[in-house]
């Protein structure tokens, strides 16, 4: 498949007449977004890229390319300092729990400040705005929803502005709903739910705005922000070209998958299943983490493999209550600031992005398993 080559179309505007000589460190290079930054930086010739990983087992995807790969745990200041030697820019994509998000961001910024990195791009999220409505631009304050992920991102942004005040050239990108190949939450899981009939036309329960941005458009914006002197000290929404609802996304995704008729999902059914999911998930995570091997061996002896697999499938395929709230949220995150200051212009509408997603899903064998 030529997904990687075709996805770099339009980047010729970044290349000028010769390959760039800048050196860019990507933290979290084994993640969905970080991995794509590495691929596109190499394929487009945008930069000599250093792929920072927490562990070697995360290297499978990016190891397909002849790029520099280093152990770079954001919780290890020594690894960060070593990885940043001679680096011009850092794209901070590392993901994890609150410690990784907050302490890890502080460590990245401290190391970048210490060696004089010329640009740091911090990947935040539109979730920092909280449960808002209407058009939400960058002038809106960050508002806690008492959610660990969103609150950690708010704290990480606060640290970014502290380092900017010290003189570090840092900027913040706030992407909305990022989808594309290798994306788990809004690509693989949604496709599985649609194929298994666990997701469909949810009527009023999914009439909120979806704010889709294809992963390559986000990476394109990252590259624009590295090249622009106007980006420093600024926060930017990053969104796609379509203003669609979640139901629109589900219908288009189903049609692209070849699903003839989308199942109608009743609101009561969704809430009951999601509540059950939220009650079971923490228990399943704890038990699986501590006693997973014992349970599987016992289950095989008692002939319970199918029931265990059904529970796993239920937890993977059922939307959480947070997702149901997201599907109803009527907020739109305009990207006019990124367009005006960075020259950002998204290239992938929902239809073209989903065609690439489904090609990738088929290529990876996901569709055959469902």
Per-domain residue ranges of the chain: 3-181+213-241+329-348, 268-322
In the CATH scheme, what architecture does the domain 3-181+213-241+329-348 have? 3-Layer(aba) Sandwich (3.40)
Spatial distance between the Cα atoms of 334 and 336, rounded to a whole number of angstroms: 6
**Mean of pLDDT values over 117-137:** 97
What's the pLDDT at 68?
96
**Mean of pLDDT values over 330-359:** 98
DSSP state of 118: S
Confidence of residue 320 (pLDDT cuts 50, 70, 90): confident
Mean pLDDT of the chain: 87
Do residues 176 and 211 lie in contact, with contact meaning Cβ atoms separated by under 8 Å? yes
Tell whether the model's pLDDT for residue 348 goes beyond 60: yes
Angle, to 10 degrees, between the axis of helix 267-302 and the axis of helix 321-328?
150
**Mean of pLDDT values over 206-234:** 97
**Mean of pLDDT values over 150-167:** 98
Lowest mean pLDDT among 67-81, 246-260, 296-310: 296-310
What's the pLDDT at 322?
80
**Mean of pLDDT values over 39-50:** 96
Tell whether the model's pLDDT for residue 30 goes beyond 80: yes
Count the Cβ atoms, other than its own, within 10 Å of residue 272.
Answer: 11
What's the pLDDT at 57?
94
DSSP β-bridge partners for residue 147: none
**Mean of pLDDT values over 185-191:** 96
**Mean of pLDDT values over 305-331:** 71
Confidence of residue 370 (pLDDT cuts 50, 70, 90): confident
Spatial distance between the Cα atoms of 101 and 128, rounded to a whole number of angstroms: 13
Tell me which of 260 and 123 has the higher pLDDT.
123
For the chain, state the CA radius of gyration.
21
Lowest mean pLDDT among 29-33, 174-178, 205-209, 297-301: 297-301
Q: Any long-range contacts for 323-329 (C-beta under 8 Å, 24+ apart)?
A: 323/274, 324/205, 324/270, 324/271, 324/274, 325/131, 326/208, 326/246, 327/202, 327/205, 327/206, 327/208, 327/246, 328/204, 328/205, 328/206, 328/207, 328/208, 329/131, 329/132, 329/133, 329/208, 329/209
Which residues have C-beta within 8 Å of that of residue 171, sequence separation ≥ 6? 119, 120, 121, 122, 225, 231, 232, 233, 234, 235, 236
Residue in 179, 170, 45, 185 with CA at minimum distance from that of residue 111: 170
What's the pLDDT at 298?
61
Q: Is the dihedral of CA 174, 180, 183, 187 positive or negative?
A: positive
Spatial distance between the Cα atoms of 361 and 350, rounded to a whole number of angstroms: 16
């Amino acid at each position: 498949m030529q997904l990687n080559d075709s996805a770099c179309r339009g980047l010729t505007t970044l290349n000028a007449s010769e390959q760039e000589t800048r050196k860019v460190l990507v933290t979290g290079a084994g993640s969905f977004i970080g991995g794509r930054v590495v691929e596109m930086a190499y394929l487009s010739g945008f930069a000599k890229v250093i792929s920072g990983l927490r562990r070697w087992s995360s290297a499978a995807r990016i190891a397909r390319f002849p790029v520099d790969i280093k152990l770079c745990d954001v919780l290890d200041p020594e690894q960060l300092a070593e990885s940043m030697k001679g680096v011009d820019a850092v794209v901070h994509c590392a993901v994890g729990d609150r410690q990784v998000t907050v302490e890890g961001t502080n460590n990245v910024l401290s190391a970048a400040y210490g060696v004089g990195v010329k640009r740091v791009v911090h990947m935040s999220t539109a979730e920092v705005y909280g449960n808002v409505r209407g058009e939400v631009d960058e002038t809106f304050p960050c508002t806690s929803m008492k959610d660990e992920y969103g609150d950690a991102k708010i704290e990480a942004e606060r640290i970014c502005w502290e380092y900017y005040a010290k003189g570090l050239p840092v900027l913040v990108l706030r992407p909305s709903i990022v989808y594309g190949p290798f994306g788990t939450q809004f690509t693989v899981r949604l496709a599985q739910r649609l194929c298994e009939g666990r997701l469909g036309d949810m009527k009023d329960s999914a009439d909120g705005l979806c704010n889709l941005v294809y992963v390559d458009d986000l990476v394109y914006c990252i590259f624009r922000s590295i090249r622009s002197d106007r980006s420093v000290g600024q926060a930017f929404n990053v969104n796609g070209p379509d203003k669609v609802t979640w139901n629109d996304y589900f219908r288009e995704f189903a049609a692209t998958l070849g699903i003839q008729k989308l199942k109608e999902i009743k609101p009561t059914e969704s809430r009951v299943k999601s509540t059950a999911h939220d009650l079971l998930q923490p228990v399943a995570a704890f038990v699986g983490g501590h006693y997973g091997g014992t349970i599987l061996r016992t289950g095989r002896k008692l002939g319970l493999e199918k029931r265990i697999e059904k529970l796993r499938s239920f937890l993977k395929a059922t939307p959480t209550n947070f997702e149901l709230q997201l599907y109803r949220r009527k907020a739109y995150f305009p990207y006019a600031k990124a367009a005006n200051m960075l020259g950002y212009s998204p290239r992938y509408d929902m239809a073209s992005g989903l065609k690439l997603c489904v090609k990738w899903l088929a290529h990876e064998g996901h569709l055959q398993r469902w």
